[in-house]
Amino acid sequence: MLSVLSAVEIKDKAPTYVGGRMGRPEKAKHREMKPLVHVLFPVGLKGGSHRDLLEAARQGPVFVELAKRKCPSCKTYTLKIRCSECGCETVAEKTCPRCGRTVKDAGCPHCKADGVMYHKQPVNFKEVIDSACSVLGYKPPKMLRGVKGLTNLDKTPEIVEKGILREKHGLSVYKDGTIRFDATNAPLTHITPAEIGVSIEKMRQLGYLSDNHGLPLTDPNQICELKVQDVVIPWRAGEYFIQIANFIDDLLTRVYKQSAFYSVKETSDMVGQIIFGLAPHTCACILGRIIGFTDRNVIYAHPVWHSAKRRDCDGDEDAIMLGLDTLINFSRVYLPAQIGGIMDAPILLIPFVNTKEVQRQAHDFDVSSEYPLEFFKKTLERSDARPTSVLMDVISHRLGTEAQFEGFQYTTPCSNINLGNANSS
């Protein structure tokens, strides 16, 4: 134990340092709001500690702040974007937050307050849940977790059908309507089909026709150069994406009356599917394609792809999202109205990675097959790295040419990208 020293004793003694090791523990798991949320729908205090919509349904009408929308045709008030009665698109209506009167853009003439696009109104949760279950053809779940209150500008909620489907498939939603899986980044430029658990036939379907030396791809142990936007994800992410894909198919068929899109059964069925990568504190996601799986707790991807997310490829933790979940369920409307609400949200989508536009650290990436003798002489002289880089084959020397995307090499092979410690100390 450290003794407590007086001011005089401290003055007379040399400084004492108490150090502790710090680092980011590897993790690969789905992201959950705390506590878990199935649907972005407010329940106030009537849902108990779990914010359970079914608990609120047992208590009669519950007053919560929600968007106030009106059908311009039949004058019906509703929470929905389209009127259930006539199908017309509804219009948000502003009310005075003090007296509750309907107001125009100029504000309330009586209270002199600006209007807001939400209103404290009663919700019959039993009717809402029964109606949603009728649409889906499912029985009500045992528990349906909502939120205490909404923080978005007009307090527009999600439809309860989404929450019921997420609960059915064992999923939870993030604040913007998406479902996410988090894992640590790891740079990778070469793979073998055997390492990532993908057949030769599937690899060829995805455009991997030859190996790193230009020979036809016929053996699962041949080394292939990873395409810039192909991503190797953890097996557990693949399993979670199966749940998300089934949720999306249910949403398409039962709510939107469309055909199923994914129709997947096994994790291997996710190979070739589109995902989006997103780094915290940013608002632009990068399109990627699942090319295979690893049992390590990392997202293996090309350093250029990681860097496109504004990452330095140094072990940061990012999120990946299934493509159609993001395109269907994300809405800027759900984002918190506070400062910083747009951060960590896929507001923009970058479909094609431009090597010239990514972080500079990726431009310094060494893609040589061997180092020249002059390089080793410079190391003995302890020369600065920047002027010495002209001797090396780095990505920055390839910018503006086709070679910025492919033809990368390595100096030291490894037996398998899945070997080594699964977790650091």
Q: pLDDT tens, 11-69?
A: 555 667 776 655 566 678 999 888 899 999 999 999 999 999 999 999 889 999 999 88
* Average pLDDT value for residue range 255-267: 97
Sheet with 91-92, side-by-side order of all strands: 77-78, 69-70, 91-92
pLDDT at 46: 93
Residue 146, both tokens: 């909502």
Q: Which two tokens stand for residue 193?
A: 């089909």
CATH code of 181-357, in short, is 2.40.40
- Average pLDDT score, the chain: 91
Q: Give, in order, the Cα–Cα distances in Å from 21 to each of 185, 314, 401.
A: 21, 18, 44
Question: From CA 238, how far away is CA 80, in angstroms rounded?
Answer: 34
Q: What is the mean pLDDT of residues 411-421?
A: 89
Helix pair 235-250, 160-168: axis angle to 10 deg = 140
Average pLDDT over residues 242-265: 97
Write phi, then psi, for 231 (nearest 5 degrees): -130, 135
- Residue range 371-379: average pLDDT? 94
Q: What whole-number distance in Å separates Cα of residue 370 and Cα of residue 290?
A: 30
State the span(s) of the chain assigned CATH 2.40.40. 181-357
Is beta strand 274-278 parallel, antiparallel or unpaired with respect to 284-294? antiparallel
Tell me which H or E stretch contains 70.
strand 69-70
Residue of 25, 22, 412, 405 lying closest to 226 (CA atoms): 405
Half-sphere exposure of 66 (CA within 13 A, CB side): 23
